Amino acid sequence: MKKLRSLLYDAFVVIGISLLVSKLVSRVFGLKEVLLADTRLLIGYELAIVLLVSLGVCWAKSPDRSSRKAPQESAISELRNKLGKAAVVLRSRPASGPIEGHVSCLGRVTWQLPGEECPVDAEGKPLDPLATLFVPDLPGVPEALRKVALITIFAPEDAWAEDPDEEPQLGCVIRTYATLEGLVPCNYMSESLKTCILTPEAVENDMPKWPDCGGSDEMWDSIQQLEEKHKLEYHEDICDAVYENIRKEDFPASFSSPAGRHAVFETHKIGGYPTYAQGSPEIPEDYPFVMQLNYDSDAGLEIGDCGSYYFYYNAEENAWLVYSDCY
């Protein structure tokens, strides 16, 4: 998509410049009447102009001509190599039919062990089936989830409003399964969410949004120096740029800049860095961040004002912590 936009842009540049040059040259040298008198001469003249302009555009974009950008690109590449983490973005789309097989989805839980039932809250009210997430074979899965095959999540209504000090899991019940063997199909459907299929897409260089998400103080000092030296904006040009091609078109304009700021909040993901809206919470070190689910207009998932759920997993104790924030 990015290459197509670049090609279309180049084509418009060539056509625009060619038209301008054609008119200027014909006017300066008085060629208008001569060219109009012979169609073949006119076509050859126009093609020659287009060819010369195309060669000029290619020359201007050649590596030698763009060498002034090399230090900036080199610095960005080095930064991504040092800080970048693999992640799996889960792209959401409305389900068009029944959910069959091992399919990750929002708004429905589709597998369980024999005898398991939909969990309930303290008042006996069934929790909402939030998500079914199949983990095997996904690229970039964090170390803590390497031995997990399936995760199912049930959540109370407005879990994001729960007090994390009183409810470390925000009232959610999260079930993990080390193997898919022995599981049986179920069909717990949310009454408030529409079912959406989650399709995985690998991201190579997920970047930390906040200093306390990753990287040393020296690294963040170097990021600031990079911004000042090359007139860059870290979040816009480096951090969120990774997600430019997978932003949702209908994400509220008030929460994103024209360049794609906060685009990362439009994606669900496993691995990588948490992308907090309000800064990092205090999470015990033995509970590493493993995934997040976000505001989703297709599913009707509202988490405050375009917020997120963040999930942390202690593999040794098979225990979870959940945090949420929003704008």
- DSSP-derived secondary structure for 69-85: GHHHHHHHHHHHHHH-E
Say if residue 45's pLDDT is above 70: no
| Domain residue limits, the chain | 2-65, 73-325
Residues 306, 264 contacting (CB under 8 angstroms) = no
CB atoms within 10 A of CB 33: 8
Q: What's the sign of the alpha-carbon dihedral 243, 249, 252, 256?
A: positive
Which of 108, 202, 195, 214 lies closest to 152 in space, CA to CA? 108
Give the Cα separation of 85 and 77 in Å (integer).
Answer: 13
pLDDT score at 321: 97
Provide the pLDDT for residue 228.
84
Mean pLDDT, residues 152-161 taken together? 90
Is the full-model pTM beyond 0.85?
A: no
Q: Which residues contact 174 (CB under 8 A, 6 or more apart)?
A: 151, 152, 153, 154, 311, 320, 322
Instruction: Tell me the per-residue pLDDT of 13-39, one tens digit each, with 9 for 90 and over.
Output: 545 555 555 555 555 555 555 555 556
Q: Cα(229)–Cα(211) distance, rounded to whole angstroms?
A: 20
pLDDT at 71 > cutoff 90:
no
Task: pLDDT band for 257, please (50, 70, 90 cuts).
Answer: very low
Question: Which range has highest mean pLDDT (224-238, 252-266, 297-311)?
Answer: 297-311
Torsion over CA of 45, 50, 55 and 56, rounded to 10 degrees? Answer: 100
Q: In terms of DSSP bridges, do strands 105-106 and 196-206 run parallel, antiparallel, or are they unpaired?
A: antiparallel
Is-contact 223 289, C-beta < 8 A? no
Q: How far apart are CA 279 and CA 299, in angstroms?
A: 26
- Which residues is 173 bridged to in the sheet? 154
Determine the Cα–Cα distance for residues 174 and 322; give it in Å rounded to an integer: 10
Element (H, E) at 152: strand 150-155
Looking at domain 73-325, its CATH architecture is: Roll (2.30)
DSSP per-residue string spanning 7-46 = HHHHHHHHHHHHHHHHHHHHHHTT-HHHHHH-HHHHHHHH
Instruction: Point out the least confidently predicted range of 8-17, 162-171, 185-194, 298-307.
Output: 8-17
The amino acid at 134: F
Distance CA 14, CA 20 (A): 10
**pLDDT at residue 2 in the model:** 43
Residues of the chain above pLDDT 70, percent: 71
- End-to-end CA separation in angstroms for the chain: 30
Cβ(263)–Cβ(207) under 8 Å?
no
Highest mean predicted confidence (pLDDT) among 18-22, 53-57, 251-255, 317-321: 317-321
Q: Which helix (H) or strand (E) covers residue 54, if one does? A: helix 39-60
